[in-house]
Structure 1
Amino acid sequence: MNEPEAERNPVRIGMPALNGRQKLVKSVWIVIWFLYLAGPIGQLIEGKMSAADEALGWSGFALFVGAYFALVFRYMVHLPTYGSLVRCTVAFLAALAGLLSFTLGPNWLVLFTFVGVAAAVTLPFSLSRWIIPALTAALIGIGMRYEDARTYLLAYALPCLLSGFAMVGVQYLIRTTAELRAAREEVARLAANDERLRLARDLHDLLGHSLSLITLKSELAGRMLPGAPDDAAQQIADIEQVSRQALVDVREAVTGYRRPRLAVELAGVRAALRTAGVEVTVDPALEAEHHGLAIDEEGALAWALREATTNVMRHSGARHCELLLTEEWESDERRYLCLSVLDDGAGPPRALHDGNGLSGLRERLALADGRLEIGSAPRGRGFALRAYVPLSGPAPSGGGVTGTAAGIVGPHG
């Protein structure tokens, strides 16, 4: 139910590129940061250096940018592969940054920041935690030879140190996110395995005895058939009765597997909304016992809860979602249970046309003698979906779900 991965993580941070478009996006993400090289570029364009220094500057700049881009791009596309080539490339970048900043002027000290970022991104923390302070110390040592060194050190040394360790933190978060993603996939796989085992166990318990009895009585009827046709007919009648009962048991079991339950949907909705970054407030009435709520009506409300929260996550852009459950009396003196899903997102579209999900939901509610209402949230911003199903039986004398909750707009606004 979560929104597409491309919308949540367009740069695929912490994940390898899968196609040319994703590689292009990662390339642009790297190139953007080259704007911080405006100082060295401006010095080269001015043309006030000697021919030798200018040749050194252009060639060194091209080598640095090419090596840095190749190193970081290789990491972002293929993810960590720590090896001697990576360490040698980081060492080459550090040496080139030292040479250019020592020879051509303080503007080139910014290269140390890029080296620190490259080390943080491509090297394990056991190495980068020492390399980043060493790069900062080298930057300070070279910067001290220039006039107004304090200004340059404040402009370059602090960003070098902080950017490096900030990227160390980002890499830690990326690794943690990857581990959580893998753990979530493993949990889903184990849950699917458990469900298959439960289904197999239930089918065995339902059919094992019945099929064994059918087999036994079939063999017995076969032996009785030539000499005792009446007894064989009785055995066949027993077989028919057992098989019919087994068919009923299987149908009930399958119906139970397929029928959505409100409590089960609520647990899944909570997890899905939190994963999508949507804060959720749940009315305690949703977790209480619902007297008079038939099986079909509960299934319709569960489908409504699933469809409504799916729309919140995919289309609304909401930050907060509220789930409410109220009992309401209609003009025909019938008692209804109303599920309200309110969000603070973009609100309903100008033309309220039901999509496939809402159309299907209206049909499900109609089969349960209920109805669906959609519109703006009570506070004027956001979207409100209300699903109504009838309640059977007498109204509870106290407790449970009562009346229309304060602040909730009724079925007619």
Structure 2
Amino acid sequence: MNEERVVGIGRVPSNIRQAGAKMLWIGIWLIFMSAPVDDLLDGGRSTVQEVSGWTGLAVFVAAYLVLVFRQTARTLSPRAVYGALAFLGLLALGLALALGSAWLVLFVYVAVSCGAVLPLRTASWAILGVTALMCLLALPDAHVVKDAVPLLVPALLGGFAMTGVRQLVRTTVELKAARATVAQLAANEERLRMARDLHDLLGHSLSLITLKSELAGRMLPDRPDMAAAQVADIEQVSRQALTDVREAVTGYRRPTLPGELAGARTALAAAGITADVPPECDVDGLSAEEETVLAWALREGITNVVRHSGARHCTVTLTARQTLDGRRCELRVRDDGRNAAVAAHGNGLTGLTERLLTVGGSLSTEADRGFTLTVRVPIGSGA
């Protein structure tokens, strides 16, 4: 499985590259710090004010980045969260009182931090409180009010938008956990089904073989002819048990369309290819052999896309069509890659063509701005 190049929502960075990408995503919003930076660069401040301003700004930005980054990567303790938010709020308050209205923008970042790290109900009140404090600081001076009004929308919108992002992160994490649980339950159910099938297949046969073996052993000294008959029965029962096991294993190994559709989505996502795959097979009337051939065709097509195409997007369609020769199921795998020639002449397609012949199906390929594999199988033909 290829390593993903981006850090997904709610996923903890696992290496320096992913940590850098997440930090860049968080730090890009620091562009709105231009107001306090311009205020310090204008040159109208004393040396003490400039040193205090640059130091306070650097400490504020560092605390903001660490708080938001750590909270989105690993949840901090409530005491640490509230302590960090109190530090950011007091630092923003002190800088705004000491250096003027240009520093009110720091309260926007405090509001965003509240939305990023606090529980939903607490975050809502905290965002409103931080915004109200910013407005109170601006009330005594009409010029300051003029500077603070444009910050109202970013403070409220940024804070509440971050609460939405947190809810999305939580939902994503819960969805992944639920999918993992469902997969585990499905695997457990499959193991139980296999255990039941093997018990039904072999329990009676092995018991019968054991009884006949004991009986043959007792008959062997005095009645060898009857013992030989029991041995013949043992051979017949064991051969039938072996046949049943082989048929059962063949059934387990037979690919199915729902399984291959799910596997296609997983394989394409792992390869970084945008997938448009139907959630399930809605074609009725397919026999087991026809479904198996279509499943092999889908597996082969997705394998070619992942290994050879270099594509960015892949579309899978599965439809039933009425033709002059009867109903046919058409499977189409199309990608936008540029290595169509490699896939078109592979041994996999040759073997797939031979499989299709057993059910009266056909295969066609097209290499035009990508590669398209089209497989048609008659529905319910009994071939």
Give the TM-score category using the shorter length.
0.7 to 0.9
Pairwise mapping of residues 4-403 of structure 1 onto structure 2 (< 5 A)? 6-7=4-5, 10-77=6-73, 79-262=74-257, 265=260, 287-290=283-286, 295=289, 297-308=290-301, 316-318=311-313, 321-326=316-321, 337=328, 339-341=330-332, 347-349=336-338, 351-354=340-343, 359-369=347-357, 371-375=362-366, 383-389=371-377
Q: RMSD value over aligned CA atoms?
A: 3.5
Residue pair 2:327, 2:379 contacting (<8 A) in 1 also: yes
Q: 2 CA distance for matches of 1:393 and 1:125?
A: 59
1:315 deviation in Å?
A: 5.9
1:137 deviation in Å?
A: 0.3
Which amino acid in the other structure matches residue 301 of structure 1? L
Residue pair 1:282, 1:324 contacting (<8 A) in 2 also: no
The 3 A distance-change label for structure 1 pair 325 and 312 is farther
Report the secondary structure of 1:322's partner residue.
strand
Identity %: 45
The 3 A distance-change label for structure 1 pair 168 and 340 is same
**Deviation readout 1:204-259 (Å, 9 max, x if unpaired):** 00000000000000000001100100000000000000000000000111111111
Q: 1 CA distance for matches of 2:283 and 2:24?
A: 49
Q: 2 CA distance for matches of 1:217 and 1:56?
A: 96
The 3 A distance-change label for structure 1 pair 258 and 73 is same
1:392 deviation in Å?
A: 8.6
Which amino acid in the other structure matches residue 373 of structure 2? L
Which amino acid in the other structure matches residue 153 of structure 1? A
1:324 deviation in Å?
A: 2.3
Report the secondary structure of 1:372's partner residue.
strand
**Deviation readout 1:295-319 (Å, 9 max, x if unpaired):** 2x43221122344467779965448
The 3 A distance-change label for structure 1 pair 254 and 301 is same
1:355 deviation in Å?
A: 8.1
The 3 A distance-change label for structure 1 pair 208 and 261 is same
Residue pair 1:365, 1:387 contacting (<8 A) in 2 also: no
Q: 1 CA distance for matches of 2:337 and 2:82?
A: 54
The 3 A distance-change label for structure 1 pair 278 and 19 is closer
Q: 1 CA distance for matches of 2:53 and 2:60?
A: 10
Q: 2 CA distance for matches of 1:233 and 1:300?
A: 46
Residue pair 1:283, 1:324 contacting (<8 A) in 2 also: no
Report the secondary structure of 1:373's partner residue.
strand
Report the secondary structure of 1:226's partner residue.
coil
Ranges in structure 1 where 5+ consecutive residues have no aligned partner: 396-413
Report the secondary structure of 1:287's partner residue.
coil
**Deviation readout 1:362-394 (Å, 9 max, x if unpaired):** 413324425532225xxx876532124578958
The worse-fitting range, judged by mean Cα deviation, of 190-199 and 302-311 is 302-311
**Deviation readout 1:318-365 (Å, 9 max, x if unpaired):** 486532244667xxxx9894523255x6x3526521189x64244133
Higher helix share: 2
Q: 1 CA distance for matches of 2:268 and 2:15?
A: 29
The 3 A distance-change label for structure 1 pair 355 and 88 is farther
**Deviation readout 1:168-188 (Å, 9 max, x if unpaired):** 011011001100000000000
Report the secondary structure of 2:177's partner residue.
helix
Q: 1 CA distance for matches of 2:249 and 2:50?
A: 79
The worse-fitting range, judged by mean Cα deviation, of 167-176 and 308-317 is 308-317
Number of positions where the alignment pairs a residue of Structure 1 with one of Structure 2? 376
1:89 deviation in Å?
A: 1.0
1:283 deviation in Å?
A: 11
Ranges in structure 2 where 5+ consecutive residues have no aligned partner: none
